[in-house]
Amino acid sequence: MICVSIGRGRHKHLLAEHRHLVSEGAQLVELRLDYLKRNVNLQRLLKNRSGPIVATCRRTQDGGRWEGTEESRQMILRSAIAGGVDYVDLEEDIAATIPRYGSCQRIISLHDFRETPGNLEEIHQRLVALDADVVKIATMAHSPHDGVRMLRLVRNSEIPTVGICMGDIGTPTRILAGKFGAPFTYSTFHHERSLAPGQLSFQQMTDIYHYDKIDPETEVYGVIADPVGHSLSPIIHNQAFNELGLNKVYLPFRVPREDLRSFLLDCEELGIGGLSVTIPHKEDVISCIDEIDEATRKIGAVNTVIFRDGKKHGFNTDLPAAMASIAPMVQLRFGDSSMKNRRALILGAGGVAKTIAYGLVQQGADVVICSRTQAKSELLASQLECDVIDWDRRHNVEADLLVNGTPVGMHPQVDQTPFEKRGLRREMVVFDTIYNPEQTLLVKLARDAGCATATGVDMFVRQAALQFEIFTDREAPIEMMRSEFKRTIGAARQ
């Protein structure tokens, strides 16, 4: 169950949002009385409620907005209990002074916006002793292991416990609460009106993560990155899981570089079956992997990890995805999909450029590396035994295939291009690995010049589909994933 927190300045807005949430399927709503700008009219709120509610009036020291006296605040909470509210949230220091009454259930809570204390079990025991029906502990996460400790506490508790780590590092605890036995988790009405750091909206929890379907048997997957908030992988993977009726969920894990190894050790306890890996971990994760194929080792980057038979197996799905994206356009332009003896100009010398360059060298292409950092270009060219050219001379290369592996042209700098129109020829194939926007300025210029084009959307969806198949041993619903991905990046730009 999801408890949706509503904080509005006027009573009518609280009631209207409550009605809307109930119509959308919300089973429990927290009314944040501390947000009201006028005197709290409990009779109005309780008489016209649309469903079960938690009454909360939070002080500023606990992350709330209550500006009145403490005596008045406690009187509001007592009145809510007497008025028949379903749940009341009482902080540890006042719980003993407000007695149980009627059928109202007592949530005894503690909030720590600085850290996740080392003595969580001791804190939990103190809260339980205050005649708690539900214990709520919300703390700030500074490492992924903080979240593991919190979920462990929830799982081992005999009293229903909601344990949440705040901040983007702690977001997974909100989604995994039900898997570990919490009676409910918390979300907000709208993603732009978060009432606590790392809080997701009711729509995100239901439409993306399908929270109410998560149970103790749910298998966990996710993407590790830092930062991770921009990742669109949870959207398409969760929709694919749902499409095939699989009891799996895919989460965003923000893992700072220094926490990578410890996080991988915690994966078993979290029930993680596989991970997508992106910046800054693609290279560092190799030292943590038990088994890896030769191509992935030569590329020097892993973007997929699965945990199987007690071992961590590493893969790179970017390589086959990129080659599969290029091949149809080469076939269209030249009559066959082979890149043997064809010249490929690679713009960039980073991870994606290295992966594609390696694949093309393996196919027998004449690869030329060109980036704005000459030293990086020369290093990559020496590793792959291919040619290199100065950035300023890139338009002089008569390439059959042009690949943009740089971020030039990515949102929001959509009016930029790494390659000018004067260097484009009708006989070329142009592949831009950027996917947001799909129609970059380079792609538009290439199409105007009559070039065959491939976009980053195709590569992203293909690599995600390959990851899905590694995770599940099932054929990926790739067209659904493509449609969902395009819909999402389209909505994000509106």
**Cα dihedral sign for 344, 349, 354, 356?**
negative
Taking the C-alpha atoms of residue 461 and residue 404, their distance in angstroms, rounded to an integer, is 17
Q: Which of 89, 259, 318, 432 is catalytic?
A: 318
86 is an active site residue: no
Query: Closest Cα to residue 449, out of 477, 415, 422?
Result: 422
477-481-482 Cα angle (round to 5): 120
Question: H helices of 289-335, where?
Answer: 294-299, 318-334
Question: H helices of 55-143, where?
Answer: 70-82, 92-95, 120-128
Q: Which of 136, 210, 312, 313 is catalytic?
A: 136
Taking the C-alpha atoms of residue 174 and residue 83, their distance in angstroms, rounded to an integer, is 30
Task: Fill in the amino acid letter for 111.
Answer: H
242-247-250 Cα angle (round to 5): 70
Contact between 424 and 444 under an 8 Å Cβ cutoff? The reply is no
Consecutive H or E run containing 345? strand 343-347
The rounded radius of gyration (Å) of the Cα atoms in the chain is 27
φ, ψ of residue 186 to 5 degrees: the values are -115, 145
Token representation of residue 303:
């973007």
Taking the C-alpha atoms of residue 138 and residue 155, their distance in angstroms, rounded to an integer, is 15
Q: Which of 18, 111, 312, 354 is catalytic?
A: 111
Residue given tokens 């809570």 in the structure block: 109
Contact between 399 and 431 under an 8 Å Cβ cutoff? The reply is no
Query: Closest Cα to residue 286, out of 265, 304, 259?
Result: 304
**Cα dihedral sign for 235, 241, 242, 243?**
positive
179 is an active site residue: no
282 is an active site residue: yes
Q: Which of 282, 312, 313, 354 is catalytic?
A: 282
Diameter of the chain measured on Cα atoms: 83
- Please report, for residues 121, 353, 368, 407, 444, the alpha-carbon distance to residue 417 in angstroms, rounded to integers and kept in the order given: 55, 16, 19, 9, 10
DSSP 317: -
Which residues neighbour 378 within 8 Å (Cβ) at sequence distance 6 or greater? 388
Residues belonging to the active site: 111, 136, 282, 318
